Every structure is written in C-alpha cells, then in structure tokens.
C-alpha cells in the first residue's frame, strides 16, 4: 500500500450543516469509502461475529460502546483495504477517540489527510433544520423528532461542547480545514474540494 494512494478525511460540522450530503458526494467522486461506526457495529451484530456478540447487548441497552472496541472494529475494517481511502462521518467524537484513531492510522501508514469543518451560523442552521421539518410535514412524511427549534438549539449546544476539543486537537495538528458551509450544494462542494487540495 503506497502512502500516495491513501486518503483519510474526517468530517466535522454541526447538525444541519450538510455534512452527510457533502460526505456522500465526496466519497462518490473521489472513490472513498464512507465509514459509519454505527453501520459497522450493526453489521457485526447481524453476522454474529465475536465483536458483534460483545457489542450487541450494549447497543440493545442504548449504552456507549467502549473506545477500544470501536478502534478494534475500525482496525478490522481498514485492515482488509488495499489502500486506505476513507471518510469518517460521526467519528471520532472525543479527543481520546481522535488520538486512538491517529495511532491506528499511523500504524497503517495512512495518517489523516484533512479534517474539513463545515461552518454555518447558528441562526441559519436552526432555520435549515426547522425548514426540513416543515417540508417533511408538507409532503405528509413523519417529521423527525429533532426537527424542532428547541431540539435544534439543544443539539447545537451539545455539538459545541463535544466538538470544540476535536477542533482544537486537529487545529494544533495542522489538518483542520474550515469550509464556509453557506451557499448552494455545488458552491459548498467546490470550497470543500479546494480545501482538501
């Protein structure tokens, strides 16, 4: 596996910033695998692997899966790749997870390429989330429980508390790439590609 083939992108951004949409497009256009720890966990549980048997009861109880188990899952997932070309969306969530992931990636010779941070003003984020709820209601679809102004504000607070340490961590390591998340999907995507160089 040659280092030049490797590409590791970690997406950061508040709820409603459009991370999921942009990560999907980037994965598709750059030939990257989008990694969701939740999807990997559920896959192991459904296949009844040793790890799956370990985490199944935790997921059923709504408990947090220990960091060392998450890292083992990711190591297992990445070990089968010829080149490590991935996007992490929703992981890491803590500085301890970020440090453990960095150690794993260094072992694999695939350090973090960049950490794009989608930046959108709080006021606009809340408008977007509430509008998403309105649109769903208009179409006669179930409105997500988090698509209300009150819940949206709470999620922004939680995001800031949890993510600021990650922003600081990747900032000091020189891999953070702030990206203006205001504009059309194409405008934001263009800035994102530019930031990733």
Instruction: Give which of 98, 97, 33 is closest to 65, Cα–Cα.
Output: 97
Catalytic-residue membership of 134: yes
Catalytic-residue membership of 144: yes
Active-site choice (128, 139, 144, 191)? 144
Is residue 64 a known part of a binding site?
A: yes
Is residue 183 a known part of a binding site?
A: yes
Query: CB neighbours (10 Å) of residue 75?
Result: 15
Catalytic-residue membership of 128: no
Catalytic-residue membership of 154: no
Active-site choice (19, 34, 85, 191)? 19
Return phi, psi of residue 120, to 5°.
Answer: -140, 135
Active-site choice (7, 25, 85, 93)? 93
Catalytic-residue membership of 25: no
Active-site choice (25, 75, 153, 155)? 155
Q: How far apart are CA 66 and CA 58, in angstroms?
A: 9
Is residue 91 a known part of a binding site?
A: yes
* Both tokens assigned to 24: 């999907």
Is residue 90 a known part of a binding site?
A: yes
Is residue 156 a known part of a binding site?
A: no
Is residue 27 a known part of a binding site?
A: no
Is residue 190 a known part of a binding site?
A: no
Geometric angle at alpha carbon 145, from 123 and 13, rounded to 5°: 45
Is residue 173 a known part of a binding site?
A: no
Instruction: Give which of 5, 13, 8, 57 is closest to 180, Cα–Cα.
Output: 13
Is residue 155 a known part of a binding site?
A: yes
Is residue 18 a known part of a binding site?
A: yes
Residues marked as catalytic: 19, 93, 134, 144, 155
Binding-site residue set for AMP: 37, 42, 63-65, 90-93, 97, 144, 155
Annotated binding-site positions: 16-21, 37, 42, 63-65, 90-93, 97, 132, 144, 155, 183
């Amino acid at each position: 596996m040659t280092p030049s083939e490797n590409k590791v992108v970690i997406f950061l951004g508040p709820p409603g910033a459009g991370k999921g949409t942009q990560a999907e497009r980037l994965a598709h256009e750059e030939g990257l695998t989008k990694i969701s720890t939740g999807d990997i966990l559920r896959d192991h549980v459904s296949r009844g692997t040793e790890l799956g048997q370990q985490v199944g009861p935790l997921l059923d109880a709504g408990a947090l899966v220990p960091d060392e188990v998450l890292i083992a899952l990711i190591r297992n997932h990445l070990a089968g790749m010829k080149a490590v070309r991935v996007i992490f969306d929703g992981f890491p969530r803590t500085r301890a997870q970020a440090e453990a992931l960095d150690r794993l990636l260094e072992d694999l010779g695939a350090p973090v390429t960049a950490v794009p941070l989608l930046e959108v003003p709080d006021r606009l984020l809340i408008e977007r989330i509430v509008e998403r709820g309105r649109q769903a209601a208009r179409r006669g679809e179930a409105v997500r429980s988090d698509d209300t102004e009150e819940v949206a504000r709470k999620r922004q607070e939680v995001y800031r508390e949890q993510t600021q340490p990650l922003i600081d961590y990747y900032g000091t390591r020189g891999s953070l790439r702030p990206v203006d998340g205001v504009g059309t999907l194409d405008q934001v995507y263009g800035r994102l590609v530019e930031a990733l160089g």
